[in-house]
Structure 1
Amino acid sequence: MDKPNVNAPDRLSKKTLIAYGMGDFASNLTNTFMGSYLTIFYTDVVGLTPAIVSVIMIIARVWDAINDPMFGAIAERTETKKGRFRPYIFYFTPFLALAAVLTFTTLGGKGGAVYAAITYIAYGMLYTVVNLSYGSLSTVMTTNPEDISQLTSYRMMGTNLSSVILSALSPIIMRAISHSTTFNARSYTITMLIYAAISIPMFYFVYANCKEVVKPVNEGQKVSLGVSLKTVVTNKPLMLTFAMMIFVMFAFFGRMGVVIYYIIYVMKKPQYISVFMALPSIMTVIGILVTKNYIVKWGKKKMTAIGYVGAGLTLIVMYFVDPSNFGMMVFLHALYGFFCFSFPIPMSMIPEAINYQEDRVGIRTDGLAYAATSLSTKVGNAFGPTVALLIMGAFGYIANAPQTAHAMQGINLATNLIFGICYLMALIPLAFYPLDAKKNAEIQLSLDAKRDLVQDRKSED
């Protein structure tokens, strides 16, 4: 008679799935607003040049390359009754909210650039603490592959719902505060204050309802940081996932950070900012709902490839289309958003890569592995807009002024063509990703057997 698997997890409740999705909703209340408006806040309100903004973001990302893996290692070595990751959400969420608000304030004068750098870097560090801990929860809440996929889907639903709401409401809120179609410093600060305040109880809802149940096979065994880092960088599926996410995050967040310039200065439709900022997110939600069954039927790699090709080609076409053709602009923005259904799929590959590593070498590094995802997000969020701003500056962009034809060409290039090519480049690491449903099932059976053996030894002791 077969022995029951004592490590088989209970299926996650609907409440737990909703709570987990609420975490990305909360995270993106501040992070999406920052990704959409920080560059234009720095250039058009604080008065920083595109070059200075680029330097600030590069410095922040260089620090993140050190800080993210460092915190990942700290988090996965944390041992409390509440788990390894949940306590960081509980204690640091209020500080993250405060840092988000401070990032959208300005001292003015010569100290503006220094203050901007300090607050932006502080926000990035606190974002790592809270969001890396939140993201790592998905790897320790269950081992059921269907639930892991569900967690990713709910997370992306939270991401895109918050993006829709922010894209639609932010311009309205800021116009109401500034009493003008031109947003002032106060309108940015108060809008971020609203979003930051709402995010705090949402993160606490995640903390209360998302429990850590998956224990490493090597639980209790001390693993040096050097060994952990080596197992991560030699984890082929994880490194390939990291590589594809670098390209995609660069494209996704880069375009998000500068598309407002395209709407205002190239399309010359500032009154439709809400429409063009919200439409892609709405269509992404629709795309996820329409394609979710095909991800199981056709496989993650094929569906991810379809999404990347579709998003990339749509942006390339948009570069060549007359921006005054309003109907075509609406259609292409909607089509681009639909193909972003593929955006969450690589995130569901992270737990697969962690399991692959644990089965192969007996070391589970949830925190460090997820640090790669966190780092790819922040690299994309910074370097995407940074490269776009440098291109715009090189083509002669001048803040708060009518743009020359050459400058508008630069904005179009930076918003559409560059990032369309990046989506297509993500297909290269995707092509080499080695795991599929069959292989993942074999790995999970192997890990379950090892955990059963550990449990049996503990029972004998």
Structure 2
Amino acid sequence: MSKDQGAQSAKKEEHVSKAFSWFHATSVNGGAMVIAAVISSYFSQYMTDHMGLAAGAASLIMFIATLWDAINDPIMGVLADRTHTKLGRYKPYFIFAPILLTLFSVLIWVNPGFSATGKFIWVLVTYIGYGMTVTMYTMPQMAILPAAVKSNQKRNMIITMGAGTCAAAFTIGNTFTPQLTGFFTNLGFSNGYIPLMIVCGILSAVSFWGLFATSKERYLQPVNQGETLKNLKLVLKHVELFPNIIAWIMASMGYGLMFSTSVYYMMYYYMRPDLISVYMGVISIGALVSMVVLMPIFLKVFKTGQRALMVSQILSMICYIILFFFGKTNFTFLCVVTFISACTSSMQNALVNVLVNDAIDYIQLKEGISANGVISSIKGFAQKCGNTFTNSGVLLVLSLSGYVANAIGQEPESTLFALNFLKFGAPCLTGIILILSVMFNPVHKYAKEIEDMKSKMEDVA
């Protein structure tokens, strides 16, 4: 490539349409994220306290469903990489995503008049359907960003936009679900969750179909057409990527624990179910500040996503330790320190996406192929493993601790300790492992070679 051609290519690379940036940021992180927030924070409690499923049975549902969800991520990643249509490699999946998302997110809230076994099977099947749908659109959505944009600065800008949208969606889903479901109940719906899911599904359709219309798969290399396992082995043979995988698991667990334990914590440990919405609002607003305000500042001050991630985790753990010992002292104190912890910890789930793009670039450098889907699926697999531990683990620990549904003020001391540990102790452990994984990540030593490689990449759209 001549000097003039390189300059023209760099100039072209710098332009990323606002429409693509917006739709990419709001696809997974818009209406679909509101659905995910509602399910993450309220579905476990809905199963045990409204559908009448035992905590152990609900834990088993979460374990089976999220484990299978993790297993099928690599399958989806390989499938996405090998998709060849006139519409593109990753784009076709955005057409069907919101339709299936709406269907399954409605069905999981349906409380059929079945026996306990029948309810178990119903929830298991519908929850697996929901999880597979999320996998179907998450892998291509992650994979299409490095395929459409090669500038790290532009990628990080779009990731930051997505993080802000994610935080706003989580604020709505976590804070206002009781009010939103109550609104629909007042309109005559017997179950307010169902119309809420339909509205969110319609919003997700706007974003996913907009992403389909505005995305261009410019920067793709040939795909290894060998056997599926060979594609995975081709990536996983690079031990340099293993710290990334561990970091993805820990970030998923830490982020998930922050939300999935809060309803139980306020209801049974703090014994103030009337304050659930207030406390969830504190967490959600903290997450919004984290991703919209603080994350860009952290990236600017600490220069890289890796450094920003480590600093944010250290600050979060300090808050968690304080809350573990003194969280029940005063509600105002609990809210203030929780807000600070949410401000510093919530960005972890977005910052680890920087590691996805690093891994994709690294494999292109070392193997000369695009493995966007495979690497995105490995990240998805790691994230779902974290979700498996979080979703089923919380319920399992509660079951083993002697938890009794709807027994506010009557839970045994073992359950109260378990709730406090799950809320503040466990995220400290995941944070320590996450920091160590990022500290000993060797991929960064290839940064200059990767930048040289990307400067020579041509637009193939």
TM-score scaled to structure 1, two decimals?
A: 0.90
> Counterpart of 1:17 in structure 2: which amino acid?
S
**1:393 Cα deviation (Å)?**
1.8
Structure 1 residue ranges without an equivalent (≥5): 456-461
**1:205 Cα deviation (Å)?**
2.0
| 2:255–2:348 CA contact under 8 A, matched in 1 | no
What SS does the corresponding residue of 1:364 show, helix, strand or coil? coil
1:401 is matched with which residue?
A: 407
| 1:46–1:108 CA contact under 8 A, matched in 2 | no
2:261 aligned to which of 237, 258, 261: 258
Provide the rounded CA distance (Å) in 2 between the counterparts of 1:29 and 1:286: 17
2:137 aligned to which of 130, 133, 136: 130
Note the 1:94-109 alignment, pairs <5 A.
94-109=99-114
Q: 1:355-408, CA deviations, whole angstroms, 9 ceiling, x for partnerless residues?
A: 111111112211110012222332323321321222222222111122335132
Provide the rounded CA distance (Å) in 1 between the counterparts of 2:299 and 2:420: 33
1:258/1:108 CA distance change after superposition, 3 Å: farther
| 2:70–2:384 CA contact under 8 A, matched in 1 | no
**1:439 Cα deviation (Å)?**
3.9
The more displaced of 403-412 and 27-36 is 403-412
2:16 aligned to which of 12, 27, 44: 12
2:120 aligned to which of 106, 113, 120: 113
Percent sequence identity over aligned pairs: 22
2:427 is matched with which residue?
A: 419
Provide the rounded CA distance (Å) in 2 between the counterparts of 1:137 and 1:159: 18
Structure 2 residue ranges without an equivalent (≥5): none
Provide the rounded CA distance (Å) in 2 between the counterparts of 1:122 and 1:226: 24
Note the 1:316-331 alignment, pairs <5 A.
316-323=321-328, 325-331=330-336
2:68 aligned to which of 38, 47, 63: 63
**1:342 Cα deviation (Å)?**
3.3
Provide the rounded CA distance (Å) in 1 between the counterparts of 2:50 and 2:232: 42
| Aligned length, in residue pairs | 446
**1:3 Cα deviation (Å)?**
4.5
Provide the rounded CA distance (Å) in 1 between the counterparts of 2:453 and 2:184: 58
Note the 1:297-316 alignment, pairs <5 A.
297-298=301-302, 299-316=304-321
| 1:29–1:199 CA contact under 8 A, matched in 2 | no
Note the 1:173-184 alignment, pairs <5 A.
173-177=180-184
| 1:142–1:214 CA contact under 8 A, matched in 2 | yes
2:211 is matched with which residue?
A: 206
2:371 is matched with which residue?
A: 365
| 1:316–1:421 CA contact under 8 A, matched in 2 | no
2:283 aligned with 1:275, yes or no? no
| 1:57–1:383 CA contact under 8 A, matched in 2 | no
| 1:283–1:337 CA contact under 8 A, matched in 2 | yes
Provide the rounded CA distance (Å) in 1 between the counterparts of 2:145 and 2:381: 17
Q: Which runs of 4+ in 1 moved over 4 A?
A: none
1:380 aligned to which of 358, 380, 386: 386
| 1:392–1:410 CA contact under 8 A, matched in 2 | yes
Q: 1:293-338, CA deviations, whole angstroms, 9 ceiling, x for partnerless residues?
A: 4424423222211111222232232121142511111112101111
1:459 is matched with which residue?
A: none
2:232 is matched with which residue?
A: 229
| 2:299–2:308 CA contact under 8 A, matched in 1 | yes
What SS does the corresponding residue of 1:222 show, helix, strand or coil? coil
Q: 1:94-150, CA deviations, whole angstroms, 9 ceiling, x for partnerless residues?
A: 012111111111213320000010001111111111122212221211101111111
> Counterpart of 1:374 in structure 2: which amino acid?
G
> Counterpart of 1:426 in structure 2: which amino acid?
L
Provide the rounded CA distance (Å) in 2 between the counterparts of 1:447 and 1:230: 24
**1:444 Cα deviation (Å)?**
2.8
Provide the rounded CA distance (Å) in 2 between the counterparts of 1:274 and 1:265: 15
2:147 aligned with 1:144, yes or no? no
The more displaced of 353-362 and 293-302 is 293-302
Provide the rounded CA distance (Å) in 1 between the counterparts of 2:172 and 2:26: 14
What SS does the corresponding residue of 1:46 show, helix, strand or coil? coil
1:166 aligned to which of 173, 198, 201: 173
| 2:98–2:202 CA contact under 8 A, matched in 1 | no
| 2:171–2:287 CA contact under 8 A, matched in 1 | no
Provide the rounded CA distance (Å) in 1 between the counterparts of 2:65 and 2:133: 12
**1:177 Cα deviation (Å)?**
4.5
Provide the rounded CA distance (Å) in 2 between the counterparts of 1:10 and 1:322: 47
TM-score scaled to structure 2, two decimals?
A: 0.90
2:51 is matched with which residue?
A: 46
Say what the alpha-carbon RMSD is for the aligned residues: 2.3
**1:285 Cα deviation (Å)?**
2.9
